[in-house]
Amino acid sequence: MGKYIFKRVLLAIVTIFIVCFITFFTMNAIPGGPFAGEKAKSPEVQAALEKRFNLDKPVGEQFVIYMKNLLHGDFGISAKTGREISETIGSKFSVSAKLGIMAVLLAVFLGVVFGSIAALQRNRWPDRVIIFLSTLFTSLPSFVLGSFLLVIFSVKLGWVRAWSPTNQNLVLPVIALAMYPAAYITRLTKTSMLDVMGQDYVRTARAKGVAQWKVLFVHTLRNALIPVVTYLGPMIAGVLTGSLVVEQIFTIGGLGAEFVQSITNRDYPMIMGVTIFLAVFMVTMNLLTDIVYKLIDPRINLD
Amino acid sequence: MAKEAADVNKMPKKNPLSLQIDLQKFEKATDEEKKQADVMSESTSFFRDGMRKLRKNPLAMFSIVVLIAIILMITLVPVIVPYSYSDIITVNGKRDKSATNMAPFTYSKLEQQYIDEGGKVFPHIMGTDELGRDYFVRVAYGTRISLLVGVFASAIVLVIGVLYGSISGYFGGKVDLIMMRFVDVIYSLPDLLMIILLSVVLNEVLKFDGNGILARLGTNMISLFIVFGLLYWVGMARLVRGQILTIKQNEYVLAAKVSGAKSSRIIRRHILPNCISVIIISAALQIPSAIFTESFLSFISLGVKAPMPSLGSLASAARSGITTYTYKLVFPALMIGLITLAFNLLGDGLRDAFDPKLRR
């Protein structure tokens, strides 16, 4: 187990390093540097700026400096606003994280409940309806669903007020983000439930007269949820990237909206910082998922 | 011998105590009865059997019909409808600047005037957009671009993934170990973030001249293809490798090896045909995922280059003024949903029909 965790952590560190490497050197390949877009500066100002941001040093050395700063939590400053990027990330990410956590919880809840119902009612109408709906929702990108939700419930019906700093109503964006993973988890839970329900230990439990609910919750569902755990990592990544557009639609001032804004503004230090931050977050989540997965299922061999 | 065999009815003389069956007690089968014993159904091949199962699957057949309808639409509409995707509507040779944001099946003042004078105007089936371009043609073109991107990206994934996976799986051992470590690293890179990054960079670095399809699609789509080629193939490579590791154990592969077949021949002739169904299903499911990615990128302004439409960029553009012109979001959203739904259902159907192992 220790060996497995060590290997997995090593892979995560290598991945994060590669992400930083790619991010830094691709951004450096852009001609002109981060200050080219601003209005013309005198050579002295230009030189001072370059000295301030170490742009006068060779690229390799710049990379080392950048990495060192990253380890200290210093992402540099935004080329557009001049503010500390780490500060922006810190303040905006809490909004996105709230949205993301709610979406993940809703998705897991809906997926497990409806997946179990579909498995228990196999080939009867609840199963067919649930599978039809889940197929439908896996075919709609979150931004399309989000736009429709906004138009129908917020504009046409006026049931839910749009998000603003004073009215932080996250119902619609959470639904828009959660439906795709919820549909996916539904299908995952259904197949894995059917699989577990055919296992010998479930039959044994039934045969020796264990109560129906106990068979369902203790013997079946607990084992059926193991494959769902593996999906948590990809789901968190999906929800995070999905929040890029969903925040834009519902005009929520989170990190996703900030990121999209920095892309439109061509704010390169900001793009770099947020990319690396999100990447580190996703890789860490994947790492945790993998370790949890191995911890809860002793049957999996560790190689 | 022949004479004896022909004379079945005659029983050879037998010992009264013998237990041998007395053939006289049996009736001869009539021709009709003989026919019943014939095997009526034709012998089927693996492919035919799969097709038969597929044809019995109403959802899969429905999605094939939908896909054919969509392909017909995107090939025929630009030919039939007399508007172009990039030009403002002209009435009687004059630019019609008032024909913006019209609802489906309505005419602008200029067009109405022209119709009253006896001219003919092709109806705007889906209305017009904010610049006064026919929306139906734009949606048809957008569907064409999105499908093209999806098919092309999944073809890239198919080629690289199959090559890499089959080499890694076939040779095994150290080669496999090193190649799979590489795959592990790529697999854990956050792909969408990398696409965004590369799109931003390539936008500045690459400049395309001329009028080729790549130049018109723009650098964003090229970076999408590049990233698909660099990152997305790992899923396919893992799948192919896993398949090959199991198929490799079969006796016929050993037989081929013993009789001196080269590695490339064994992979091509003996191993790949046996996992082709899994590969095709996975490639079919890759298409909607590529279309999703493309629409996502279009949405954050990293999509196809204007004036070229794609379903994602149309949906994204429709967001401004969505409250009054909701139909402009409905049409491209409907097309995205329809295409992904059709491919997903078709992929599921193919899996049920051709892959007994994955069948649930």
∠ CA A115-A187-A106, nearest 5°, is 60
Contact yes or no for A241 and B198 at CB 8 A: no
Q: Name the pairing type of β-strands B90-91 and B94-95.
A: antiparallel
Contact yes or no for B300 and A244 at CB 8 A: yes
Note the pLDDT tens digit of each residue in B220-252: 777 778 877 788 888 889 888 888 888 888 888
Note the pLDDT tens digit of each residue in B84-116: 777 777 776 666 667 677 777 777 777 777 777
B337 touches A at CB < 8 Å: yes
CB-neighbour burial class of residue A285 (10 A; exposed 0-12, middle 13-18, buried 19+): middle
pTM over 0.80: no
Q: What is the C-alpha to C-alpha distance for residues B198 and B14, in angstroms, rounded to an integer? A: 93
Contact yes or no for A135 and B333 at CB 8 A: no
Residue of A nearest to B325 (CA): A151
Note the pLDDT tens digit of each residue in A117-140: 999 888 889 998 998 899 888 888
Show residues of chain A in contact with B292, CB under 8 Å. Answer: 141
Residue of A nearest to B318 (CA): A147
**Residue B1: in which H helix or E strand, if any?**
none
CB-based contact B282:B239 (threshold 8 Å): yes
- DSSP for A249-260 reads HTT--SHHHHHH
Could you tell me which of B279, B340, B352, B343 has the C-alpha nearest to residue B57? B352
Task: Tell me the one-letter amino acid at B85.
Answer: Y
pLDDT of residue A117: 92
B226 touches A at CB < 8 Å: no
CB-based contact A154:A162 (threshold 8 Å): yes
Contact yes or no for B322 and A151 at CB 8 A: yes
Nearest by CB: A275 against B193, B300, B315: B193
DSSP at A192: H
pLDDT of residue B316: 81
pLDDT of residue B99: 67
* Interface test mutation site (partner A, options B181, B183, B200, B316, max chain A beta carbons within 10 A): B200
Average pLDDT, chain A: 83
Q: What is the C-alpha to C-alpha distance for residues B6 and B9, in angstroms, rounded to an integer? A: 9
Contact yes or no for A26 and B302 at CB 8 A: no
Instruction: Measure the N-to-C terminal CA separation of chain A; round to a whole number of Å.
Output: 9
Nearest by CB: B189 against A15, A29, A148: A15
pLDDT of residue B324: 73
Nearest by CB: B319 against A31, A147, A191: A147
Contact yes or no for B201 and A27 at CB 8 A: yes
Q: How confident is the model at residue A303 (pLDDT cuts 50, 70, 90)?
A: very low
pLDDT in tens, chain B (360 residues): 445 555 556 666 667 777 777 777 778 888 888 877 777 677 777 777 788 888 888 888 999 999 999 999 888 887 887 777 777 777 766 666 676 777 777 777 777 777 777 777 777 777 777 777 778 888 888 898 888 888 888 898 899 998 999 888 888 888 888 888 888 888 877 778 888 888 777 777 776 655 666 666 777 777 778 877 788 888 889 888 888 888 888 888 889 989 998 888 888 888 877 888 788 888 888 888 888 888 888 887 777 777 778 888 888 888 777 777 777 888 888 888 888 889 888 888 888 787 655 443
∠ CA B288-A145-A116, nearest 5°, is 80
Show residues of chain A in contact with B197, CB under 8 Å. Answer: 22-23, 26-27, 271, 275
Residue of B nearest to A267 (CA): B200
pLDDT of residue A39: 58
Residue of A nearest to B185 (CA): A15
CATH of B48-78+133-358, one of 1.10.3470.10, 3.40.50.720, 1.10.3720.10, 3.50.50.60: 1.10.3720.10
Q: A145 vs B93, which has greater pLDDT?
A: A145
Contact yes or no for A26 and B198 at CB 8 A: yes
Q: What is the C-alpha to C-alpha distance for residues B189 and A21, in angstroms, rounded to an integer? A: 12
